[in-house]
Amino acid sequence: MSTGASELLQGTGGVVGGPGDGEAEPAAAIAARSPFELFWRRLRRDKVALVALGFIALLVIVAVFAPLIVKLFGAHPPNDQNSAALDDFGSARGPGGGYLMGTDGLGRDVFSRTLYGARVSLEVALITAAVAVVIGVTLGLVAGYFRGWVDSALSRVFDVLLAFPVLLLALGLGAACALGNGCIAVNYDRTGQVLIVLGILTLVGMHGWNLLMTRRRDPDLPPLRLGEIVGRSIPGLLLLVVGLVLAVVVKKTNGALIQPGLPVVIFIIALANIPYMARIIRGQVLSLREKEFVEAAQSLGASNTRILFRHILPNLVAPIIVYTTLLIPQNILLEASLSFLGVGVQPPQASWGAMIADAATIFDTAWWYMTFPGAALLLTVLAFNLVGDGLQDALNPRSGQ
């Protein structure tokens, strides 16, 4: 914060010494800036990152409002096949004649499919990044903070996952899960029942045991506050809810836990991301847990959960944000690769990777089919990378020097 303030002082020095001075101005012009203001100030100066951010905003708008945009441009719905748009050989039609970006080999509108492809890319990228962040950060925190056997066990699991080449692992899992009825067959009924029992046991255990033991030790303790009761009920309630959903709602669903299509892609990419995120966080936590503020919290009697989530986690926001923004473009590319290799989204859903794969064999006669989804993929990945780069510079100004 002191660095930011001094920068600010230097930056406004000209104004302070400009025309109209002579009167003794109080130090009111020197204002303290919050970390966010400083971050925004630095980011604002990075025009490339801002342009990229604008592109991403546009992409999000396109993805969300794809149906409206398609209508607005008078384009055809993405899955509408029009055999009349093809020639006698069943070849794709180039741009024009009601098709802004031409058609694919089934007479579908490449423009619409490119727009809808953005949905898949963003959906996969954001969900997988979110899953990787939540699980990876939690595991990283636990491993780094508790060390010992927990750290060893988790780290070995990360090592195993990291030892697999991501694309190969993804292909293997994709092939196993994308075919037929999916993979990891689950008896939802039974699983749900087990989770319900576990949930009830957890609820009873957390409260009953706590009440019994603490009251026995000190009968004069004040009653639990509502927040504490709710807090302690969360794990049990979660198990109970998931159990009820599986046993009552999902019980009639056929097939496996991971169904072919987007769920497979999301599962694979998230699984591939988790160890990377966890490793980074673990390393940071190993360093942070030795800092004075952690010792101070421990000496004040703060619980491990409180230290982890109230004291250590806020210090990890910068690396999490930066790494997440770098994960997103990687995940977009991985989704495209999986779809390109035929183990990604299922037809007829539009995906840039699948479109590029379909177009590869006819590129010399149907350039439009590969060019537009390819360009969209290229620009999206580039934009996310540039934004990630800009964020890194803005959050940690020393890193760029």
Residues in contact with another protein by CB under 8 A are 46-49, 51-52, 79, 81, 83, 86-95, 102, 105-107, 178-181, 260, 342, 346-348, 358, 361-362, 364-365, 367-368, 371, 375, 378-379, 382, 386, 389, 400
Work out how close the CB of 112 gets to another protein at its nearest, in angstroms, rounded to a whole number: 14
Evaluate whether 305 touches 313 at the Cβ level (below 8 Å).
no
- Closest CB to another protein among residues 46, 109: 46
- Closest CB to another protein among residues 43, 135: 43
Half-sphere exposure of 313 (CA within 13 A, CB side): 15
> Please, what sign has the CA dihedral across residues 93, 95, 99, 105?
positive
Work out how close the CB of 103 gets to another protein at its nearest, in angstroms, rounded to a whole number: 9
- Closest CB to another protein among residues 275, 388: 388
- Closest CB to another protein among residues 55, 164: 55
CB-neighbour burial class of residue 243 (10 A; exposed 0-12, middle 13-18, buried 19+): buried
Name the nearest CA neighbour of 335 among 357, 354, 322, 349. 354
Work out how close the CB of 263 gets to another protein at its nearest, in angstroms, rounded to a whole number: 13
Q: Which two tokens stand for residue 50?
A: 């801002």
Work out how close the CB of 56 gets to another protein at its nearest, in angstroms, rounded to a whole number: 13
- Closest CB to another protein among residues 153, 382: 382
Work out how close the CB of 87 gets to another protein at its nearest, in angstroms, rounded to a whole number: 4
Name the nearest CA neighbour of 64 among 131, 107, 109, 126. 126
d(CA 177, CA 183): 5
Work out how close the CB of 298 gets to another protein at its nearest, in angstroms, rounded to a whole number: 40
- Closest CB to another protein among residues 30, 378: 378
- Closest CB to another protein among residues 86, 242: 86
For 183, list phi and psi in degrees, rounded to 5: -135, 170
d(CA 70, CA 99): 11
SS3 content of the chain, % helix, strand, coil (to 5): 75, 5, 25
d(CA 66, CA 117): 10
Work out how close the CB of 79 gets to another protein at its nearest, in angstroms, rounded to a whole number: 7
d(CA 236, CA 216): 24
